């Protein structure tokens, strides 16, 4: 069983400056909920209630968010604003949160290795909060956990991207073993379009078996001189131990301004459609 989900959250988001000068990018809100809260909701919905966060300098707001704020909660107790905290209270009640700091930025693989002390010797999930995913049915991580129960190996979520975009992603290739499920044969981190083995891009959802930590410790730096999770997974893929899944749902790249705006628009429209779930004063603020 997978119980834990790791959130690498130490990186800067220079694209969003000045918003991210003193605020973690993971706290940028899509309408009124921070990106990382959507991620924790997705993890909990997949049955993963042990949340580990790899943080860094200037990220303290994340810890405060997943905690009680007595003064504020006392202030709004009994008012119709109280329900705006229902979702976060649910997460605080149902999940445990632990944190560790990454002191140097040496890549996603290095961030995951830093999280080893929060995970221990068991398979776990990794969620990159700036890949914001929505789906009508099960969330992406829940879909991956279901696949893990069948295959018991590392799993990455993938989607097709335009060929000229391959240099922004880890790219996989392999053989389709059932509809939407690929046994991965090769993985390359951010290849140029002419070197890419396919246009199947990894998005920020992973299930990793515990041996990934030993591999991460031994591999040399890869693309950009950083320790890459894609390179570590490629070692597992050489032994047939990585599955890629085309998930059901839609992903917004909230690491980019355009994706962030599109996600905001999407959530705003669905909030508006479910307006009756929100207090009247919130609905009043939504222009018709
Ligand atoms: C990371 C990974 C890359 C993956 C991407 C998904 O890159 O290194 O393999 O495709 O996340 O968002 P980053 O976007 O952090 O540069």
Per-residue pLDDT, 280: 66
Name 119's Cβ contacts closer than 8 Å, sequence gap at least 6. Answer: 4, 6, 52, 210, 213
Pocket of ligand 1 contains residue 108 by CB under 6 Å: yes
Ligand 1 pocket test: which of 108, 184, 233 has the largest number of ligand atoms within 8 Å of its C-beta?
108
Per-residue pLDDT, 26: 95
Q: Are strands 154-160 and 242-246 parallel, antiparallel or unpaired?
A: parallel
Separation of CA 131 and ligand 1 centre (Å) = 9
225: cis peptide before it, omega within 30°? no
Evaluated on CA atoms 271, 96, 8, 108, the torsion sign reads negative
Separation of CA 170 and ligand 1 centre (Å) = 6
Q: Is 38 in contact with 30 (CB distance < 8 Å)? A: yes
Separation of CA 96 and ligand 1 centre (Å) = 26
Q: Distance of CA 92 to CAs 88, 182, 264, 268, Å?
A: 6, 36, 24, 24
**How many helices and strands in the chain, by DSSP H and E?**
11, 13
Q: Superfamily for 4-145+203-221+250-283? A: Spore Coat Polysaccharide Biosynthesis Protein SpsA; Chain A (3.90.550.10)
Q: In the beta sheet, which residues pair with residue 133?
A: 251
Q: Is 173 in contact with 198 (CB distance < 8 Å)? A: yes
Distance CA 129, CA 37 (A): 8
Q: Which atom of ligand 1 is nearest to the CA of 223?
A: 8
Separation of CA 195 and ligand 1 centre (Å) = 17
Distance CA 184, CA 153 (A): 11
Pocket of ligand 1 contains residue 111 by CB under 6 Å: no
Distance CA 29, CA 175 (A): 38
Listed in sequence order, the DSSP H helices in 66-139 are 70-76, 86-94, 108-114, 116-119
Pocket of ligand 1 contains residue 189 by CB under 6 Å: yes
> Hey, whose CA ends up nearest to atom 7 of ligand 1?
169
Separation of CA 171 and ligand 1 centre (Å) = 10
Closest by CA position to 90, among listed 115, 66, 58? 66
Kindly give the confidence (pLDDT) of every residue in the chain, 288 residues in length, as a single tens digit, with 9 standing for 90 and above.
Answer: 899 999 999 988 789 999 999 999 999 999 999 999 999 999 999 999 999 999 998 899 999 999 999 899 898 888 888 888 889 999 999 999 999 999 988 999 999 999 999 999 999 999 999 999 999 899 999 999 999 999 999 999 999 999 999 999 999 999 999 999 999 999 999 999 999 999 999 999 999 999 999 999 999 999 999 999 999 999 999 999 999 999 999 999 999 999 999 999 999 888 766 665 566 666 666 555
Per-residue pLDDT, 123: 98
Distance CA 33, CA 44 (A): 16
Separation of CA 167 and ligand 1 centre (Å) = 10
Pocket of ligand 1 contains residue 169 by CB under 6 Å: yes
Pocket of ligand 1 contains residue 235 by CB under 6 Å: no
């Amino acid at each position: 069983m997978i119980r834990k989900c790791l959130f690498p959250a130490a990186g800067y988001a220079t694209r969003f400056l000045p918003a991210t000068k003193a605020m973690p990018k993971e706290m940028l809100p899509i309408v009124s909920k921070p990106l990382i809260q959507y991620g924790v909701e997705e993890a909990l919905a997949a049955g993963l209630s042990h949340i580990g966060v790899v943080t860094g300098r200037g990220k303290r707001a994340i810890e405060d968010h997943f905690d009680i704020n007595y003064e504020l909660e006392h202030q709004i107790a009994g008012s119709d604003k109280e329900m705006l905290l229902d979702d976060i209270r649910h997460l605080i009640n149902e999940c445990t949160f632990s944190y560790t700091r990454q002191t140097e930025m040496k890549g996603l693989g290095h961030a995951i290795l830093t999280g080893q002390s929060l995970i221990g010797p068991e398979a776990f999930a990794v969620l990159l909060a700036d890949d914001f995913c929505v789906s009508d049915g099960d969330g992406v991580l829940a879909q991956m956990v279901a696949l893990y129960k069948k295959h018991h190996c590392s799993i990455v979520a993938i989607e097709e991207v335009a060929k000229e975009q391959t240099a922004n992603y880890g790219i996989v290739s392999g053989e389709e073993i059932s509809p939407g499920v690929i046994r991965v044969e090769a993985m390359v981190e951010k290849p140029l379009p002419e070197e890419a083995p396919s246009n199947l891009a990894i998005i920020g959802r992973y299930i990793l078996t515990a041996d990934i930590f030993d591999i991460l410790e031994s591999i040399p730096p890869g693309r950009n001189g950083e320790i890459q999770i894609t390179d570590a997974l490629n070692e597992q893929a050489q032994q047939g131990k990585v599955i890629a899944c085309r998930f059901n749902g839609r992903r917004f790249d909230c690491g980019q301004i355009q994706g962030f705006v599109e996600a905001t628009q999407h959530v705003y429209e669905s909030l508006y459609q479910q307006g009756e779930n929100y207090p009247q004063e919130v609905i009043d603020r939504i222009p018709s």
